């Protein structure tokens, strides 16, 4: 017995070893077969044998004649109807021949072997013979000995009462109206085992149209029925799960045709349940997406380049009535029966229509309005009771600035290659100014540009009420001018160097056990250019020029140019004082590290928001990318405000109840957290009511603390 795929193949050979002339034919017959040469393969039509040929082996010589070969397949899954009917017809025809012609016992034994292999019994009633024939397999199914009498009435008693009525009606229609039947019926064998059987019946008539024979098959389908029932239950369970999801689930094949959709999808798009099945999924898309969809699929099949698969995207979708709405789409790929299929999770992300959102974006989303919105939220954060507890240094507001790389789907003037961050693609860098957890300003720069050239502009263009006193950056924020520029503008610059030892070695040396400057500060040059330096600072503050322009301009001067030398000398002076303080003041080092840690925490939240939409900017211009970044900053600040509001409510409650431990803990909690925020949820723009009751929101926390104390 050999198995291949889901088909169990059984090959049976019969050998007649009673031929006396076998030895003579062994030498003469060209069809002579050695027993070791019989080839058995997985498929019956690949068996290579010669009928009526002598069979021999190496030890015993000729052992007999090959008189027959039979191969039958039994599907380990439920037998398909076509196979069942074919086997039934062949068995019945062969049974009639054996019964009427009274074939030999060996031939009837072969027939029983066939039935056992196929697991199908056969029965027949021939009116001329006036007898009922049951094959051995039927006796096995009934659980009785084949020597035991089994009349039609006795056989009928094994069926359940309802099944008896069905088989009686079917047999009546067979003999009266010549209507064949094929039934699955409840059945109990002689041992009391409940079963399900499948029985078929056909009739044969003479030239006058009179029934001369009725015959059929009988099969135990209990196992197949059980598998079918379990499969049905499993399918129903999956359907219930899918239908109770909040998301629409749509399955399409490799040609883009819809194979399945749950009830949520039907309601979301406004179709009847069976209406989308078999249609192209482009019917759910507005133009130009619908027109381009098939070419997208062909491109993916040809190149394997996935633009949406495995990446969440926000896209417009189209309902049956033509309404367009904004959806969140997550698409995954799977393989079923060797064919690729795609499963999409769709969610309506807004209570506003897509056209409304587009109109708002076109008419109201501008850099100026987004800056005002961010300032409004930052100012609201600053007014909360918790804000003063975010202070790193007493009486000083310590901020940080750092860049974060983002890939861009489209090329713009600022997008640049950076294999470390984007591989073979292009992207930009978003430099953000963070003070007491609030993102008070941001600027987009090219991935190839140095962050230090934009630090002053970030500070000076900040229009919120949160005004930093100290600014920390990493090594990328420091250059030969920033100490001077920020000091002249009233800011303290406190960078963290990656290799502070080398910075100290560049600045200082040891002389007579004293720390001295390696190169003394040229005070005379600084004093000679002081008026020019002040005019430059006025230009920066009046915004007639920018720090980046100033740096590029001064970098083009010769090293000994008086103005360039004066600014760099003043920068060395301020930097030297900072390095000395940094080495001797552990608190300062901790303050710098805390400020930078807050910037990194902001980056994590900012990245989580970006990942909702594929982690890539989709703007086609630098201005659009600026808008996208400010929108993401707005969402980030909104989350930080919400968390700060919750902390403020808790702070006031614990102050009022005198719970000092909880009060101290609340003061130390960071508002930069998003596990409590569903970033893939629905965006509701309902301004007519207060959606959140903050007192009710914090009640589980405050009540839990009371229970713990009691």
Q: How many domains does the chain have?
A: 4
Q: What is the pLDDT of residue 55?
A: 52
pLDDT at 680 over 90: no
Q: CB neighbours (10 Å) of residue 183?
A: 14
Which residues is 336 bridged to in the sheet?
A: 339
Domain boundary among 636, 667, 692: 636
φ/ψ (deg, to 5) at 488: -70, -20
Categorize the per-residue pLDDT at 52 as very low, low, confident or very high, splitting at 50, 70 and 90. very low
Domain boundary among 589, 612, 636: 636
Averaged pLDDT for residues 321-331: 82
Asked which of 282-291, 297-306, 506-515, 628-637 is least confident by mean pLDDT, the reply is 297-306
pLDDT at 469 over 60: yes
What one-character DSSP code corresponds to residue 688? S
Q: What is the pLDDT of residue 115?
A: 57
**Helix, strand, coil proportions of the chain in percent (round to 5)?**
45, 25, 30
Task: State the Cα–Cα distance between residues 582 and 507, nearest whole angstrom.
Answer: 13
32 and 128 share one domain: yes
Residue 613 lies in a domain: yes
Q: What is the pLDDT of residue 689?
A: 57
Domain boundary among 636, 661, 693: 636
Residue 235 lies in a domain: no
Task: Look up tokens 């000395």; give the residue.
Answer: 580
Task: State the Cα–Cα distance between residues 245 and 90, nearest whole angstrom.
Answer: 50
List the one residue out of 247, 275, 246, 245 whose CA is nearest residue 260: 275
In order, the DSSP letters of 184-209 are EEEEE-TT--EEEEEEEEEEEE-TTS
381 and 522 share one domain: yes
Residue 239 lies in a domain: no
Averaged pLDDT for residues 350-360: 71
495 and 577 share one domain: yes
Q: What is the pLDDT of residue 708?
A: 45
Residue 226 lies in a domain: no
Residue 499 lies in a domain: yes
489 and 549 share one domain: yes
Q: What is the pLDDT of residue 1?
A: 37
Q: What is the pLDDT of residues 223-248, one digit of tens each?
A: 888 887 787 777 667 666 666 666 78
Q: What is the pLDDT of residue 27?
A: 43
Q: What is the pLDDT of residue 31?
A: 43
pLDDT at 564 over 60: yes
Q: What is the pLDDT of residue 17?
A: 45
Residue 230 lies in a domain: no
56 and 201 share one domain: yes
Query: Quick one: CA dihedral 20, 21, 22, 26, positive or negative?
Result: positive
Q: Label residue 482 exposed, middle or buried (CB < 10 Å: 0-12, 13-18, 19+).
A: buried
Categorize the per-residue pLDDT at 491 as very low, low, confident or very high, splitting at 50, 70 and 90. very high
Residue 644 lies in a domain: no
Q: What is the pLDDT of residue 488?
A: 92
* pLDDT, the chain, mean: 80
Asked which of 111-125, 629-643, 689-703 is least confident by mean pLDDT, the reply is 111-125
Q: What is the pLDDT of residue 86?
A: 60
List the one residue out of 639, 637, 674, 673 whose CA is nearest residue 439: 637
479: left (phi over 0), alpha (psi -120 to 50) or beta: beta
Q: What is the pLDDT of residue 239?
A: 66
515 and 408 share one domain: yes
Q: What is the pLDDT of residue 68?
A: 44
Averaged pLDDT for residues 266-271: 86
Residue 240 lies in a domain: no
More confident residue, 38 or 236: 236
Q: What is the pLDDT of residue 157?
A: 84
105 and 33 share one domain: yes
pLDDT at 197 over 50: yes
Q: What is the pLDDT of residue 33?
A: 42
468 and 597 share one domain: yes
Averaged pLDDT for residues 351-375: 83
630 and 657 share one domain: no
Categorize the per-residue pLDDT at 87 as very low, low, confident or very high, splitting at 50, 70 and 90. low
Percent of the chain at pLDDT > 70 equals 78
Averaged pLDDT for residues 70-77: 43
pLDDT at 295 over 80: yes
CATH number of residue 186's parent domain = 3.30.450.20
What range does the domain containing 165 cover? 2-221
Q: What is the pLDDT of residues 504-562, one digit of tens each?
A: 999 999 888 888 899 999 999 999 999 999 999 999 888 888 888 888 888 888 888 99
Q: What is the pLDDT of residue 32?
A: 44
Q: What burial letters (b/e) apply to 91-129, b meaning 16+ CB within 10 Å?
A: bbebbbebbeeeeeeeebebbbbbbbbbbbbbbbbbeee
pLDDT at 66 over 90: no
Averaged pLDDT for residues 632-640: 96
455 and 550 share one domain: yes
List the one residue out of 255, 347, 258, 261 whose CA is nearest residue 296: 255
Q: What is the pLDDT of residue 667?
A: 92
461 and 540 share one domain: yes
More confident residue, 616 or 376: 376
Averaged pLDDT for residues 132-153: 82
522 and 543 share one domain: yes
pLDDT at 18 over 90: no
Averaged pLDDT for residues 433-447: 96
Q: What is the pLDDT of residue 361?
A: 80
């Amino acid at each position: 017995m050999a198995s291949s795929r889901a088909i169990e193949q059984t090959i049976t050979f019969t050998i007649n070893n009673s031929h006396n002339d076998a030895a003579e034919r062994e030498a003469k017959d060209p069809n002579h077969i050695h027993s070791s040469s019989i080839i058995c393969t997985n498929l019956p039509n690949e068996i290579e044998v010669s009928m009526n040929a002598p069979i021999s082996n190496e030890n015993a010589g000729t052992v007999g004649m090959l008189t027959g070969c039979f191969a039958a397949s039994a599907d380990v899954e439920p037998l398909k109807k076509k196979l069942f009917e074919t086997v039934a017809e062949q068995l019945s025809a062969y049974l009639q021949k054996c019964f009427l012609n009274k074939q030999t016992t060996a031939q009837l034994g072969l027939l029983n072997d066939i039935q056992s292999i196929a697991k199908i019994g056969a029965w027949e009633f021939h009116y001329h013979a006036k007898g009922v024939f049951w094959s051995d397999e039927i006796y096995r199914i009934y659980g009785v000995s084949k020597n035991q009498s089994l009349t039609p009435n006795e056989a009928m008693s094994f069926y359940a009462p309802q099944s008896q009525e069905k088989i009686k009606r079917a047999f009546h229609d067979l003999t009266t109206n010549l209507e064949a039947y094929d039934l699955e019926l409840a059945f109990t064998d002689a041992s009391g085992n409940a079963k399900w059987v499948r029985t078929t019946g056909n009739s044969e008539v003479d030239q006058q149209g009179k029934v001369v024979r009725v015959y059929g098959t009988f099969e135990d389908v209990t196992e197949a029925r059980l598998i079918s029932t379990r499969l049905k239950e499993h399918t129903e369970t999956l359907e219930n799960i899918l239908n109770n999801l909040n998301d629409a689930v749509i399955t399409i094949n490799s040609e883009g045709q819809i194979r399945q959709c749950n009830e949520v999808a039907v309601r979301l798009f406004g179709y009847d349940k069976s209406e989308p099945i078999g249609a192209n999924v482009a019917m759910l898309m507005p133009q130009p997406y619908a027109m381009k969809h098939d070419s997208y699929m062909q491109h993916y099949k040809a190149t394997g380049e996935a633009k949406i698969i495995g990446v969440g995207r926000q896209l417009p979708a189209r309902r049956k009535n033509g309404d367009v709405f904004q959806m969140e789409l997550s698409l995954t790929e799977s393989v079923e029966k060797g064919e690729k299929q795609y499963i999409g999770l769709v969610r309506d992300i807004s209570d506003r229509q897509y056209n409304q959102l587009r109109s708002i974006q076109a008419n109201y989303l501008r850099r100026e309005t987004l800056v005002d919105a961010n300032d409004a939220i930052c100012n609201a954060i600053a007014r909360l009771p918790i804000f003063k507890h975010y202070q790193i240094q007493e009486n000083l507001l310590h901020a940080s600035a750092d860049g974060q790389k983002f890939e861009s789907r489209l090329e713009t003037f600022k997008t640049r290659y950076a294999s470390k961050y984007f591989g073979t693609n292009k992207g930009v860098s978003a430099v953000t100014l963070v003070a007491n957890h609030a993102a008070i300003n941001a600027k987009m720069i090219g991935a190839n540009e140095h962050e230090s050239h934009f630090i002053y502009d970030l500070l000076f263009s900040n229009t919120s009420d949160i005004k930093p006193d100290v600014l920390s950056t990493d090594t990328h924020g420091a250059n030969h001018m920033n100490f001077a520029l920020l000091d002249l503008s009233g800011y303290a610059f406190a960078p963290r160097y990656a290799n502070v030892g080398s910075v100290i070695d560049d600045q200082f040396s040891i002389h007579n056990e004293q720390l001295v400057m390696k190169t003394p500060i040229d005070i005379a040059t600084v004093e000679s250019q002081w008026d020019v330096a002040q005019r430059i600072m006025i230009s920066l503050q009046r915004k007639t020029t920018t720090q980046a322009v100033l740096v590029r301009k001064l970098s083009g001067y010769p090293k000994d140019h008086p103005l360039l030398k004066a600014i760099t000398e003043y920068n060395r002076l301020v930097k030297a004082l900072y390095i000395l303080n940094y080495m001797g003041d552990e608190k300062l080092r901790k303050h710098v590290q805390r400020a930078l840690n807050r910037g990194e925490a902001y980056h994590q939240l900012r990245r989580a928001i970006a990942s909702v939409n594929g982690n890539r900017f989709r703007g086609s211009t630098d201005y659009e990318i600026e808008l996208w970044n400010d929108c993401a900053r707005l969402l980030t600040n909104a989350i930080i405000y919400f968390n700060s509001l919750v902390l403020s409510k808790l702070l006031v409650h614990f102050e009022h109840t005198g719970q000092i431990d909880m009060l101290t803990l609340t003061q130390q909690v960071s508002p930069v957290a998003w596990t409590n925020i569903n970033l893939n949820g629905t965006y509701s723009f309902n301004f007519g009511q207060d959606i959140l009751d903050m007192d009710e929101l914090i009640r589980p926390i405050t009540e839990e603390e009371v229970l713990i104390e009691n």
